[in-house]
Structure 1
Amino acid sequence: MRSCSSEPEIITIDVHKANLLLRKGEYRFLDVRTTEEFMEGHVDFDDALNIPYMLNAPQGRVRNNKFLGQVLSLCNKDDQLIVGCQSGVRSAYATNILLKAGFKHVYNMGGGYLAWVENDLPVATLALTPKLEL
């Protein structure tokens, strides 16, 4: 007897496949790292979203209980998303939450931002540069 799993299947793609889908404009990138990590450097796409799966707190990182609601405020369940984080762990958890919530077209980006950088793919930063006093 075959058992039916209620767990959605997380499909993980590598950074090259992610880059191709993003460049074609077929998918939007959802970075689930902290805001600080995102500002230091992220996948270079104008419409990349940053909605942290984990938040920095005095006791360390804690799960963002508003994550799903924040995603739903900016995306609909038919949107095509590639979810990434630093190494691919948080994004797998986030992808699972989105799939369970009914999102239909979501990929996890394996290796995360670290793999993206290692493969010399385009990076953007939002880090503020100090103003020079004249």
Structure 2
Amino acid sequence: MGSSGSEVVTVDVAEAKRLVEAGRHSYLDVRTREEFRRGHCLAPKIFNVPYMFNSPHGRVKNPEFLSQVSSLLDQTDHIVVGCQSGVRSFHAAADLIAAGYKNASNMGGGYVAWVSHIFPVQAEQPHGI
């Protein structure tokens, strides 16, 4: 049974921040590793599992997405899913819900909204050469 996305709950960025800072929700960043390294939401429990990869033919869905998430999070965990603008995370949350994750919600506006609200971010230090 596929997911139409109609059961995905989207929370606004302020609510998402409150949920992840309270520590009961994990934040699942589904952007590419490169996007994540450039900067991500500062959250107590944050995971980066790309939903899509860049390829010579455009973006392609990560075929291992669900298995990678399941190695980090349980289906009963409370999860806020975020990406750059809220589109990939909506589809990722729909896939998670279809796979049995009961408490996955989408962060509306994504990382762009997080930054525009001047919420705390973290960037990985570039590797020296």
The TM-score bracket by the shorter chain reads over 0.9
The answer to whether 1:61 aligns with 2:82 is no
Please report how far the alpha carbon of residue 100 of structure 1 lies from its aligned counterpart in structure 2 after TM superposition: 0.3
CA-atom RMSD in angstroms: 1.7
Change (3 A) 1:127 1:63: farther
Cα deviations across residues 27-50 of structure 1 (Å, max 9, x unaligned)?
000000000000000001243100
Please report how far the alpha carbon of residue 130 of structure 1 lies from its aligned counterpart in structure 2 after TM superposition: 3.5
The answer to whether 1:123 aligns with 2:121 is yes
Larger C-alpha radius of gyration, 1 or 2? Answer: 1
Please report how far the alpha carbon of residue 7 of structure 1 lies from its aligned counterpart in structure 2 after TM superposition: 5.9
Please report how far the alpha carbon of residue 23 of structure 1 lies from its aligned counterpart in structure 2 after TM superposition: 1.1
Aligned residues: 127
The unaligned stretches of length 5 or more in structure 1 are none
Q: Which amino acid aligns with 2:108?
A: G
The answer to whether 1:74 aligns with 2:72 is yes
Change (3 A) 1:7 1:120: closer
Match of 2:30 in 1: 32
How high is the TM-score relative to the length of structure 2? 0.92
Q: Distance in 2 between matches of 1:6 and 1:44?
A: 30
Change (3 A) 1:71 1:17: same
Q: Distance in 1 between matches of 2:65 and 2:127?
A: 29
Change (3 A) 1:65 1:117: same
Q: Distance in 1 between matches of 2:118 and 2:85?
A: 15
Query: SS in structure 2 opposite 1:36?
Result: helix
The unaligned stretches of length 5 or more in structure 2 are none
Percent pairwise identity: 48
